[in-house]
Structure 1
């Protein structure tokens, strides 16, 4: 290679790529920018699968407009979540909470998904990425509204509100720093199901409302384990999560209560005529996983293992919801 030859002239240092730390390979730039997006964490994005499986239960077909709307919604969802996470990374870098959680004194998680503490991306670049992702997400959702077969006012307003609120997690209004962290995790999940269902079907059915509620509880029921693990750093950064505000016993009771709420909704739905009689039976594997999650994470104290089981439980929930919807549609 010519760059390895001694030409007798002073070698000039390679130009630094904006936003990427010196010493990084040029090919690493894209991956450094994409890491804040957490594209491997698909749990919110599974909402589209739930919605598409719900359509036959409301006697709605899946035409070209519905597919275009769903695709644009999914892309917008990915972009908005990426913006929120990147803003959160920048905030965690500024207030020092990530240095505590991901520093040498707390090596419980790999730095691969945290480019700012790892030094592979600058704060300015992360904020620039977040801003671009936010604009892209808004444009995608505008396209979804344009292609949508139906535009009920409540669905349009919910979509606009979600696009405004999601980036405010730890930037702008900084909702997670004002005591709304747990509520935020659940509400975002609900908002990724019901508005899209309204755009595709023109209504919000009882079964759709139940499934949106259960879907939103999924990220919350593994997010509270992350909060338990990060309680010390969140407390130092002034982020008042339940794990920070309550005693360890109180936090365990809160997490157990969330699982009880999930069970109550599953059992009550058929009694209210919102789901078939066999609806609770379909969720027996999920509740067994929840019990194991609580035992491992809260009783045995393996918090991160409990979080992992919570992620698996949420994905099992999605599979269960899709299967239930297909069975309901098939028996209609």
Structure 2
């Protein structure tokens, strides 16, 4: 009986493609693309039926793919170059919640030089498609023309270029970037920014922020050694707990205040209650155990829950 084996060239190509997929953290990129799913439920089927809207959405999605790939890639390039990823992923006892396999630059699947070139190409790809999106859409209010290029510029500066996360400003950049991935395409499609869109954008942004905040807490030793001055590095252990508590509180206020002021109906809070419970559970669990990676894992669940809750609410609004 003969057995078939994969030709060496095909095996090498498959391994390389898998390495790039890991480099761009494709699972997290998919999470970011949920922002566009939310936008679709916000604008509704009537607006979506317009060819102009569909083309603009497609152009933004193509650019978003490149920008996100650049952000993830250049973050790993920086982490490999300054040694922080080695300290945070290799020189640790338990890697079950953040496997080393996610870091192809550390496992040798890809070289730093290739990754850097790939990151630059992805950024250029994103800039090109977003330019097409802006030129194509008839909705060009000033705020959209500011937010979209600013998103392109700031998103990659988190740990590359200006390296805002190395100077205690990474949280602000991440909150803006994640929120803008929802707000910017809605603006390009409609030219507007109603309260509901702003709130859902901020909830999306806090969802990503309160994953990264606990990652930074886990990475204090490696980040400090590499000169990366995140908030977790700059403050004491107690100060970091307070900071994460303030972020959690701000996240909940984004949800509650618009309802209390009458800007959004009480049904919005009702639909978002499961997320609210998960967010409180995340922080309370961290205070009880002190385990940042466990809290990070719960943050991922809370992020996906808030997306699901917003989608259900938006669909409910469409059928009313």
Alignment partners' CA distance in 2, 1:149 and 1:277: 34
TM-score by length of 2: 0.90
> Whose radius of gyration is greater, 1 or 2?
1
Which stretches in structure 1 are left out of the alignment for 5+ residues?
2-13, 16-23
Identify the match of residue 238 of structure 1 among 192, 215, 227. 227
My pick for the range that moved more, 141-150 or 254-263, is 141-150
Match of 1:280 in 2: 269
Q: Following superposition of structure 1 onto structure 2, how do residues 51-200 of structure 1 map, counting pairs within 5 Å?
A: 51-56=39-44, 60-108=47-95, 109-200=98-189
Q: Following superposition of structure 1 onto structure 2, how do residues 290-301 of structure 1 map, counting pairs within 5 Å?
A: 290-301=279-290
Alignment partners' CA distance in 2, 1:137 and 1:299: 42
Contact preservation (8 Å) 1:228, 1:243: yes
The 3 A distance-change label for structure 1 pair 195 and 26 is: closer
Contact preservation (8 Å) 1:66, 1:147: no
Alignment partners' CA distance in 1, 2:127 and 2:156: 11
Match of 1:261 in 2: 250
Contact preservation (8 Å) 1:270, 1:279: yes
Match of 1:214 in 2: 203
SS of aligned partner of 2:100: coil
Deviation at 1:61, TM superposition (A): 4.8
Match of 1:316 in 2: 305
Deviation at 1:99, TM superposition (A): 1.0
Name the structure with the higher helix share.
2
My pick for the range that moved more, 187-196 or 295-304, is 295-304
Contact preservation (8 Å) 2:158, 2:174: no
Deviation at 1:144, TM superposition (A): 1.8
Q: How many residues align?
A: 310
Deviation at 1:271, TM superposition (A): 3.0
Match of 1:20 in 2: none
Match of 1:44 in 2: 32
TM-score by length of 1: 0.87
SS of aligned partner of 1:172: coil
